[in-house]
Amino acid sequence: MKIDKSIFKPYDIRGVYPNQINEYTAKLIGRAVTELLNPKQAVLVKDVRIGSDKIYQSLIEGLLEGGCNVDYLGESTTDMMYFAVGKYAYDLGISVTGSHNPPNYTGIKIVTKGVIPVSGDSGIFDIQEKAAAGRFKEVSTKGSYKEVNLRKDYTNHVLSFIDSLRIKPLTLCVDIGNGAVGDAAQDVLSKLPVKVHYLFKEKDGSFPNHLPDPSKEENVRSLKKKVLETRSDLGAAFDGDGDRVFFIDEKGDYTIGYFLTCLFSRILLKKNPGEKVIYDSRFNWAIIDTVKKFGGVPLLNKVGHAFIKERMRSENALFAGESSSHFYFRKNFFADNGIIPLLLLLELISSEGKTLSQLLSYYRKNYIWAGEFSTEVKDADIVMDKIKAIYSNYKVDETDGISIDNDREWRFNVRKSNTEPLIRLCVEGKNQELVNRVVKEVSKIIK
């Protein structure tokens, strides 16, 4: 049997179970990881997917055969794994998860000591080659296995990001989405004076109520309805492995990661003035303005969690936010987390005495945006060069793809996909008419 090399992605390992990734593949990956990274102590979690349940034991077998001791945290979130590695200095952390993909997917996210991600630039493709070859050194001493419960420690950790005494008796709706975050979310929110209406908290890897991807609005329809029915102060929806969270305001309107980055920058900089905040290339005017207003230093960076985490460490940045609703915190070992943003939002609403829609109204009114639009192309490099030439008289930034800025009249960013023949377009501008015009103009060039 051969390994399907297409499962090895720039940021993780992911594929359809059992056709692309299966027990055989998982065991070989476990052995390859031990031989290449030489971990002595690993910690592992898995999500609720059927495929994850099938492959995690084989992955553990590979690790044990390679001489690595394994602590298993059970069905839990990728966040929990990050916490364990950061807090207790494990050599290796693994989350067996298909993240936000459809139910038939599973995958493997890997970090090393210090919660450093293993990505395309730092070892994933070496693991691919070693696993595909299937030849490993003999190991005289096998690793040991035990089950560990860190839920109480994790709860205390995420609660340390807020002043719990400032939280008012708010009402919220939380969509677990039948995913892995249910136990952790309930542990944390039970410590606060809030009333919680949970949706789909039963663990079910078939995701019978909606796909585990709340970045798509069709997957939060039930949450919107529940927020309005219960007159809740906000709604929160987690993705399949719990490392991202998406919000609905009290009016039932969807909230984008772009503006949430502004709100989190605001509350964190009030407590930590003068610190650095990292943002991505997709949309950024609102973030730049907010960070500067609250005494911080905004820093532009490439999209992608490995790039963001590396930059955060080098700059010792306080916080980073991506438009995709990945939010990273220095105090969280420079890793992303889904529960901390919910806690920060509860504290902001409580302390400022404003609704979520009121907190967002300034941004929604003054920063108009559109995207992210993905277009399939034959040759992405030719298209990118063409765009750069056409807009050469404007302010050009090539931190991540090409960003063109017309002195705050309008701005757009185009990026090549890492994994597909696609170009992605994001646009922001002074008004909707300008945004629509630029979307149409640039899309025509791309096509």
Q: What average pLDDT does this structure show over 245-254? A: 99
CATH number at residue 115: 3.40.120.10
Residues 332 and 440 in one domain: no
Please name every residue paired with 248 in a beta bridge, in sequence order, or none if there are none: 235, 254
Query: What average pLDDT does the structure give for the chain?
Result: 98
User: What's the DSSP call for residue 8?
Assistant: B
In a domain, 158, yes or no: no
∠ CA 363-367-368, rounded to 5°: 125
In a domain, 249, yes or no: yes
Find where tokens 């249910």 sit.
182
Find where tokens 């503006």 sit.
259
Choose the final residue of a domain: 197, 229, 255: 255
Residues 398 and 296 in one domain: no
Residues 181 and 66 in one domain: no
Structure confidence at residue 186 (pLDDT): 99
Closest residue by Cα to residue 274 from 326, 316, 323, 314 = 316
161 near 329, Cβ under 8 Å? Answer: yes
- pLDDT tens readout for residues 276-310: 999 999 999 999 999 999 999 999 999 999 999 99
Q: 3-class DSSP state for residue 172?
A: strand
Share of the chain above pLDDT 70, in %: 100
Task: Give the range among 26-40, 395-409, 418-432 with minimum mean pLDDT.
Answer: 418-432
- pLDDT tens readout for residues 46-67: 999 999 999 999 999 999 999 9
Query: Out of 58, 95, 99, 403, which one is annotated catalytic?
Result: 99
Residues 220 and 291 in one domain: no
Report the alpha-carbon distance of residue 42 to residue 111 in Å, rounded: 10
Choose the final residue of a domain: 363, 382, 416: 363
- pLDDT tens readout for residues 149-164: 999 999 999 999 999 9
Share of the chain above pLDDT 90, in %: 97
Residues 141 and 193 in one domain: no
Q: 3-class DSSP state for residue 367?
A: coil
Q: How many CA atoms lie within 13 A of 217 on its CB side?
A: 9
- pLDDT tens readout for residues 83-118: 999 999 999 999 999 999 999 999 999 999 999 999
What's the pLDDT band for 415 if we cut at 50, 70, 90?
A: very high
Whether the per-residue pLDDT at 314 is higher than 80: the answer is yes
Long-range contacts of 427-433 (CB under 8 A, 24+ apart): 427/369, 427/370, 427/371, 428/283, 428/284, 428/285, 428/367, 428/368, 428/369, 428/370, 429/368, 429/369, 430/368, 431/368, 432/368
In a domain, 155, yes or no: no
In a domain, 330, yes or no: yes
Structure confidence at residue 247 (pLDDT): 99
Question: What is the residue range of 59's domain?
Answer: 5-150
Whether the per-residue pLDDT at 443 is higher than 80: the answer is yes
In a domain, 251, yes or no: yes
291 near 277, Cβ under 8 Å? Answer: yes
From residue 239, alpha-carbon distances to 288, 367, 395 in Å are 27, 26, 37
- pLDDT tens readout for residues 393-410: 999 999 999 999 999 999
In a domain, 163, yes or no: no
Q: Catalytic site residue 265?
A: no
Residues 247 and 111 in one domain: no
DSSP H helices in 339-425? 339-352, 356-366, 380-390
What's the pLDDT band for 418 if we cut at 50, 70, 90?
A: confident
Whether the per-residue pLDDT at 1 is higher than 90: the answer is no
Q: pTM for the full model?
A: 0.97
Residues 132 and 199 in one domain: no
Q: Structurally, how many domains does the chain consist of?
A: 4
